[in-house]
Amino acid sequence: MTKEKSLEQKMKEANEKLPGVDKMLQPSSYATWGMHWNGHPEDIKSLETKNYQIVAAKWDEHEWSEDGGGIQWNEWLSVHYKPKGSEENIRSLTTERIITRDMHSASNDRESLWPYNYVGIKALEGSEIEVSWQNEKGDSARSYIINLEERTINGIKYKEEK
């Protein structure tokens, strides 16, 4: 079972292992030109490897228009890390945003992903980790292999957001 602790407790523990990560995991809300978004982490997990302190989060964002049309759900994973003992800033990577509920057409909904509200994280070889969307039982729906040193997700170089 993945739901043993509250999100607040998971956030506190993550910040103890990777100080400052709590600022990156705060709920957000913004609006522009009649569109609104609010997002928040649904789950947070920490991992310590030989060389890194890592925190992963599963995010849920709701998007809607003042003109109507329904609410869209966007979901993704984020990974925050830095080398152990380093004074560097925390680095972050995010997976693609997946629309799990479409605001325009229910036929585009990804209902099969709705139960996967948790994040899984495990160490692989070297600087690689695997993060995944998980359900309450710990079953995975989507997985990503992330190389922290090379900053790749499933072998593709991560593009920095500007």
Q: Are strands 152-153 and 128-134 parallel, antiparallel or unpaired?
A: unpaired
Per-residue pLDDT, averaged over 47-73, amounts to 91
Model confidence at 162, pLDDT cuts 50, 70, 90, reads: very low
Which pLDDT score is estimated for 124?
97
Which pLDDT score is estimated for 70?
79
pLDDT by residue (tens digit) across 71-129? 899 999 999 999 998 888 999 999 999 999 998 888 889 999 999 999 999 999 999 99
Which pLDDT score is estimated for 66?
85
pLDDT by residue (tens digit) across 19-52? 999 999 999 999 999 889 999 999 999 999 999 9
Listed in order, strand segments (DSSP E) in 23-136 are: 28-32, 35-48, 52-65, 71-83, 91-94, 98-101, 118-123, 128-134
Q: Are strands 98-101 and 118-123 parallel, antiparallel or unpaired?
A: unpaired
Which pLDDT score is estimated for 3?
57
Q: How far apart are the first and last CA of the chain?
A: 37
CB 34 within 8 A of CB 64: no
Which pLDDT score is estimated for 104?
83
- Long-range CB contacts for residues 69-73, cutoff 8 Å, separation at least 24: 69/103, 69/104, 70/102, 70/103, 70/104, 71/101, 71/103, 72/99, 72/101, 72/102, 72/103, 73/99, 73/100, 73/101
pLDDT by residue (tens digit) across 6-15? 999 999 999 9
Domains in the chain: boundaries: 7-24+34-155
pLDDT by residue (tens digit) across 143-158? 999 999 999 999 888 7
Which pLDDT score is estimated for 161?
57
Amino acid at 56: A
